[in-house]
Structure 1
Amino acid sequence: MKRRWKIMAVLSLIVVVGGALIVVSGVIPVKASSGHWEITRWFLNFTKERSVATHSTGIEVPDLEDQALIIKGAGHYETGCQVCHGKPDGIRPRLVSLMTPKPPNLKKIVPEREPQELFYVVKHGIKMTGMPAWPEQKRDDEIWPVVAFLLKYPDLDLAEYDVLVTGEHQKQSDQSIESAEGASIPVPHLVIEVCGGCHGVDGQGRGLGVFPRLAGQNEAYLRVSLEAYHHDKRLSGTMEEIASRMSPTEIQEISRYYSRLQPQPTNRSQNKKGTVNRDHPEDPPSFERGARIAADGIADQDVPACADCHATTRKPFKNAYPTLIGQYQDYLELQIRLFQNRSRGGSQSANLMHAAVDGLKPDEIRDVCFYYSELPER
C-alpha cells in the first residue's frame, strides 16, 4: 500500500514539474490566429453558460417594454457595443473576425438567453473573451436599457436599428442651425457623429425624458460635466466612454454649441406620455407643491430651497450650476435618486447636492421635478 502511494506521489510530482517546465518554456501557443481546439471551445462555453446561469439567478427584472428604455439602450449599443457585435446588416470590422473567441452573433444568441442573464453579462463582462464589464457598477439604471434593446435586436433590420439609434437625426456634414440669438451657427462634427443621436442636434433630447435637454444649458456647467465624465468623476458607463475620447478643445466646442441653442417650451418638445412618473401613476404630481419646495425647501427635513442655486427664471448664469427649467421630469428624478444613492458623482460642486436632497421623499422628488419641468409655461 505504501509503495503504491509513493509511486502515485512520484508520478504526480513528475506531472507538476513537467507541466511547469512546459509553461516556463513558452512552447504553448497563445496566438489568436490558431483559434481554440474544439474541446477547449466546448469546455469554455459550457463553463461560461453555467456560471452566468448560476450567478444571474434571483436578479429582479424590471419592465423592459418601455420604448424610452429601448432607445436609451440603443444609444449605448451604437457607441460601445456595435464595433464588436456589429449592426443588423451582419457586417463587422475585419479585425473582429480575427479575435479568439469571436464576439457572438447577437441575433442568434440573445433569443437563447433570459433577461437576467443578459443583464449579468452586460454588467460584469466575461473574462478572457474581450467582453468588458460595465464601466460603472453602480449604474444598473444604464444597464437595463441595454438589455431592453438587446431583446429587440434580433428582430430589427438596419433601417429600424438606425431609427432607434438616431431618430430623425441624419449624419450629414456641414450642417448649421439657428442659435438663440437668431444667428446661423455650424454644427460641430462631434455633435453630428456622436452627440446628436441621443441629445439631438437641436439639444432637445429626442423628447423622451431619458436623455437630458442641453439647449440653452449653462455653458460652464456643460463643460465641467464633460470634464467630470472625461476624468471618471461623474459616473456613467455611457458618457464616460464618449467623453474620455474628447479633447479639451472638443469639450469646449460642444459646451459652447449647446449653450447657444434656443430652449423650446416644454409642451412643444416633451413627450408627456413618456414623462409621467412611472412609480406613482395614480397620484399625479403637483405643480404647486413642487413650487413650495423649490422656493422654501422643507425645513423640518433639512431640505434647502432649490431656487437658491437653480433659478426659476431664465437669467445670465453667474456660476456653474445647471438650469433645470424645462428639463424632463424623469431625468431630474433620476439625478436626485442617484445623488441620494451616492452613485452619480460630478464636478467639485456635486457633493453639495447630497445634503440638499437626502431629506426628500419620493413624492416630494416627483413634485419638485414636475415643477421645474413645467417652467416657464406656468
Structure 2
Amino acid sequence: MKWKRPLAWIAGAAVAAGIGGFVFAAAGFAPIAASSGHWAVTDWFLHFAMRRAVKTQSLGVAIPPDVSLDDRALVLRGAGHYESGCAPCHGTPTTQPSVVVRQMTPKPPHLPPHIPSWEPEHLFWIVKHGVKFTAMPAWPALHREDEVWAMVAFLRRLPDLSEAEYRALAAGDAGSGNRLRSHDDPIGAVVAESCARCHGAEGLGRGAGAFPKLAGQTEPYLLASLRAYAAGERHSGFMEPVAAMLDDAALQRLAAYYAAMPAGAAEATAAGDRALGERIATRGIPERGVPACVQCHGPKEAPRAAVYPSLAGQYADYITVQLDAFANGTRGGTPFAHIMRSIAERLEPAERGAVAAYYSALAP
C-alpha cells in the first residue's frame, strides 16, 4: 500500500531522532546551565504548557462554602507567610525578587502584576501543588487546604496594596523586634524575624483569630507543639518550615519566652451558642463518648496536665479551625493528638463552633 512507505519513513525518522537525542544527552551537550537561559520559543512553550495544565487540572477546585476570601483574618494568615516564604522569590508591591533569584532559569515572576490573570481556583492549585522544573514547591502540608486558601486570599489583595499597606499586613507589630534584638539572648532575633509577624511580640496573636494566642500557655505544651512541628508530626505549611530550621535549644527558649508572657483578655463577641458550648465543655456528651473539655483544658479547681493547652480566652476562630482539622484528620500534633481526633470527629460543626465561642469568652 502507498501509505506504508511514508509511515515507515516517519517511524524511522522518529527512531533516529530519539537515538540522536539520547546520544546528544549522553555526550553531555545538553544546555543545562541556568546562566544560558531559555530560547524565546522554549520560554513561550513552557509557560503555555504550564498555564494550560493549571487551568485544566484546577477544574475540580471550588472555594469551600465556609471560606470568604475577603475575610481579613484569612488575608492576615496568608500575609505573614508570604513575607517569609514567598517575597524573596516573588517580591512585594514595590520590591523586585532578589538578585540571586533573578539568576534562576526559569526566573520566578514578580507576582503583583501577574495575579489578576489567574482565578482563585488557579492560584489555589499552584500554591498547593507547585510547579515541576521550577523553584515553586508544593505546599509543605498538602492536606491543610485552609492554609492554602489563606494564601489565595492574600494573593488576591497583593496587586492593590501600597508598600505601607503590605507592611501592615505582612509584618504587623514585628517592628517591636528592634527591642527584642537588643536582648542578650539571641532568641529575641528569632521572635522578631519569624514569630512576631504572626503571633505578636507579646504572644497575643494578630487579627482576632488569624493566629493563636501563645501568651500564658504552659512551657511544656508550647515546647511539645514546636517539636511536633519541627518533626513534621503537626501539620502546617506555615509552622513546619519555621520550627524545622531551629535546634532544640532554640525551641526550648521560644517556649519559655512565650510561656512567660501574660495572657490576654477574653473575646466575648464570637458567634456561636455559648450555652451549648458550656454544656459540652463542662459535661461532655456521654452518649457519644465525648468527655468534658474542662478535664484537660480547664477551667477547673484541680490541677490539670501541663501538656494540654489552656483554651480560656483563646480566639474562637482559631479553636474552630483546630477542631475542624482534628475532625477531618489533617492536623496531627503531639503524642496526645489522637485523643482530640477521636473527640472532634464525634462533634457536629455547630457544636465545635459552640465550644469555641464558650472558651473564647472565658477570662484566661
Question: Shorter-normalised TM-score: what interval?
Answer: over 0.9
Matches of 1:359 and 1:5 in 2, distance apart? 64
Equivalent position amino acid for 2:318 in 1: Y
TM-score of the aligned structures, taking structure 1 as reference length: 0.89
1:49-68 maps to which residues of 2 (within 5 A)? 49-61=51-63, 62-68=67-73
Contact 1:218–1:317 (CA under 8 A) maintained in structure 2: no
Q: Which residue number in structure 1 is paired with residue 234 of structure 2?
A: 234
1:331: which partner in 2?
A: 318
User: Is residue 205 of structure 1 aligned with residue 205 of structure 2?
Assistant: yes
Q: Is the 8 A contact 1:171 1:193 kept in 2?
A: no
Q: Does 1:85 align with 2:90?
A: yes
- Report the equivalent of 1:139: 144
Q: Does the CA contact (< 8 Å) of 2:215 and 2:259 recur in 1?
A: yes
Partner of 1:127: 132
Query: Quick one: which amino acid aligns to residue 204 of structure 1?
Result: L
Matched residues in 2 for 1:4 and 1:313: separation? Answer: 86
- 1:1-378 map, 5 Å: 1=2, 6-61=8-63, 62-175=67-180, 188-267=188-267, 272=269, 276-277=270-271, 285-313=272-300, 318-376=305-363
Contact 2:234 2:333 (C-alpha < 8 Å) held by counterparts: yes
On the 8 A contact 2:129/2:139 being kept in 1, the answer is: yes
8 Å CA contact 1:200–1:206 kept in 2: the answer is yes
1:314–1:346 distance in 2 versus 1, CA, 3 Å: farther
Q: How many residues align?
A: 357
Counterpart code for 2:15 = L
Offset at 1:209?
A: 0.6
Task: Mark the CA change 1:8 to 1:147 in structure 2 (over 3 Å): closer, same or farther.
Answer: closer
Aligned-residue offset at 1:313: 4.7
Report the CA distance between 1:314 and its aligned residue.
8.3
Distance 1:259 1:92, change over 3 A: same
1:263 to 1:9, Cα distance in 2 relative to 1, 3 A: closer
- Counterpart of 2:206 in 1: which secondary structure? helix
User: Bigger shift: 187-196 or 220-229?
Assistant: 187-196
- Partner-residue secondary structure (3-state), 1:175: helix
Any idea what the Cα deviations from partners look like across 1:138-167, whole Å, max 9, x if unmatched?
A: 111001111111111111121111100122
Using the TM superposition, give the Cα deviation of residue 236 of structure 1 relative to its aligned residue in structure 2, in angstroms: 0.3
Displacement, 1:319?
3.2
Per-residue deviation, residues 333-357 of structure 1 (Å, max 9, x unmatched): 1111111101000111111112222
Distance 1:26 1:260, change over 3 A: same
1:282 matched residue in structure 2: none
Structure 2 alignment gaps of length 5 or more: none
Alpha-carbon separation, structure 2, partners of 1:314 and 1:188: 35
- Aligned CA-pair RMSD: 2.2
Distance 2:79 2:251 in 1: 23
Q: CA deviation at 1:286?
A: 2.9
Q: Name the CA shift for 1:364/1:33 in 2 (closer, same or farther; >3 Å).
A: same
Distance 1:8 1:186, change over 3 A: closer
- Secondary structure at 2:113 match in 1: helix
C-alpha distance in 2 between matches for 1:245 and 1:347? 19
Identity %: 42
4+ runs of 1 displaced by more than 4 Å?
1-9, 313-317
TM-score normalised by length of structure 2: 0.92
Contact 2:97 2:110 in 1 (8 A): no
Instruction: Classify 1:36/1:264 alpha carbon distance in 2 versus 1 (closer, same or farther; 3 Å).
Output: same
Q: Deviations over 1:46-94 (max 9, x none)?
A: 1111111111124222421111111111011012111101122223321
Partner SS for 2:32 = coil
Q: Which runs of 5+ in 1 are unaligned?
A: 178-184, 278-284
Contact 1:84 1:103 in 2 (8 A): yes
DSSP 3-state at the match of 2:173: coil
